Amino acid sequence: MAFLELEGVRKSFAGTVAVENFDLGAEKGEFVSFLGPSGCGKTTTLRMIAGFELPTAGSIRIDGSEVTNRPPNRRNVGMVFQSYALFPNMTVADNIGFGMKVRGKPRDRINTKVAELLDLIHLGGRGDRFPWQLSGGQQQRVALARALAIEPQVLLLDEPLSALDAKIRVALRHQIRSIQRQLGITTVYVTHDQEEALSLSDRVVVMSEGRIEQVGAPADIYNFPATRFVASFVGTLNLLEARVVDAPAGRLSLAGQEIRAGGAVDASNGSPVTVAIRPEGIELGTNGGTNQVTGAVEDVSFLGSIVRTRLRLDDAGTTLSLDTFNDPNLTAPAIDSTVTVSFPPEACLVLASAAAPPPQTDAVTAAEALL
């Protein structure tokens, strides 16, 4: 039995279903992320674990005991809010010690714990400051300390870093993870930033429209997306429409050029399928694998450590993006020049098709469509 269990959890509001059929078991000390776009139900599910929303159906258990109907102030879960929610009339120290104070803990114990936590979040000695005197990152750390002060069984974080600058976000998320590891608290982390989810979690729960799309380790989610949605949301995969030529042999026709998938294809010959190929799995030239595709260079983007080249494969607008590590000594291919790229069959994933095949997208337009 897992430490945190959600079974058949469902939440509907006046006709709309926000969360459907949510099943999850998180082990003690595990760091699980809920990843998905706005409105997918991830925050609602988190709030149900915290007790701020009541599930319409299903049950939630923490360490074996049923908490589904327990009011939020009796659950011993610590929550870090997106907007920090620090009490403005109290100092940092009072904020952190608040949970212990309302539980009637003795003063000296509170002071010791608060000092401990202040050191943990690298704000030692600043306990007498007020929230409005701190920066966003500092406030978020105080919010984290406040949630940890009550020694919760489960730690919940609701998009805690979305209000911060990129650099601070990266630094802070490492801090959060290392503190979590140190303390061994089961953690649920809600985010729409796939980089955060992938870099921090033991497991990722990808959600869309109230449903779980896939649960797995970051590498599995990224390398082996189960559905089209997961493939397009996580990472920057190429999603292309192809037609099955020879199902058992895995031969597909992509923009008029033939490629092979990693294995047999579960579809009939001639039917359309969605193919996902990671940009970093494709190589310029013919040494990348047995699949060879030719196209005209449409765009070359310099992304820092990575150079992303986009090829136009046919006149219907089919494009393919590939990523190569930045090498200052190599010149990028010229725009409109014809190049051949190659990738191994294993890099080519055939996905369960959606109900109606959506128009072909590459990584960039897929991301734009989610905006």
Residues that bind another protein (CB under 8 A): 13-14, 18, 38-39, 43-44, 47, 50-54, 71-74, 76-79, 81, 83, 85-90, 98-99, 101-103, 131-132, 146-147, 150
User: Exposed (0-12), middle (13-18) or buried (19+): which is 108, by Cβ within 10 Å?
Assistant: exposed
Residue whose CB is less far from another protein, 105 or 126: 105
Residue whose CB is less far from another protein, 86 or 273: 86
Q: Are 37 and 370 in contact (CB under 8 A)?
A: yes
Smallest gap, in angstroms, from Cβ of residue 103 to another protein? 6
Tokens of 288: 């990348």
Can you tell me whether residue 116 is helix, strand or coil? helix
Smallest gap, in angstroms, from Cβ of residue 1 to another protein? 25
Smallest gap, in angstroms, from Cβ of residue 40 to another protein? 8
Residues 189 and 49: their CA atoms lie apart, in Å, by 12
Residue whose CB is less far from another protein, 13 or 224: 13
CB half-sphere exposure, 61, CA atoms < 13 A: 16
Smallest gap, in angstroms, from Cβ of residue 54 to another protein? 5
Smallest gap, in angstroms, from Cβ of residue 303 to another protein? 30
Neighbour order of strands in the sheet with 257-260: 257-260, 251-254, 238-246, 272-277, 348-351
Tokens of 338: 């014809």
| Of 145, 228, 130, nearest in space to 179 by CA | 145
Smallest gap, in angstroms, from Cβ of residue 37 to another protein? 9
Residue whose CB is less far from another protein, 12 or 257: 12
Smallest gap, in angstroms, from Cβ of residue 43 to another protein? 5
Residue whose CB is less far from another protein, 55 or 279: 55
Q: Are 250 and 304 in contact (CB under 8 A)?
A: no
Residues 257 and 208: their CA atoms lie apart, in Å, by 33
Residue whose CB is less far from another protein, 44 or 318: 44
Q: Are 31 and 196 in contact (CB under 8 A)?
A: no
Residue whose CB is less far from another protein, 87 or 302: 87
- Residues in Cβ contact with 302 at an 8 Å cutoff, skipping those fewer than 6 apart: 326
Residues 43 and 198: their CA atoms lie apart, in Å, by 18
If one counts every other C-beta atom within 10 angstroms of the C-beta of residue 28, the result is 13
User: Exposed (0-12), middle (13-18) or buried (19+): which is 57, by Cβ within 10 Å?
Assistant: middle
Smallest gap, in angstroms, from Cβ of residue 325 to another protein? 38
Residues 51 and 121: their CA atoms lie apart, in Å, by 27
Strand 203-208 versus strand 186-191 pairing type: unpaired
Q: What is the DSSP letter of 84?
A: -
Residue whose CB is less far from another protein, 44 or 361: 44
Residue whose CB is less far from another protein, 15 or 304: 15
Smallest gap, in angstroms, from Cβ of residue 320 to another protein? 34
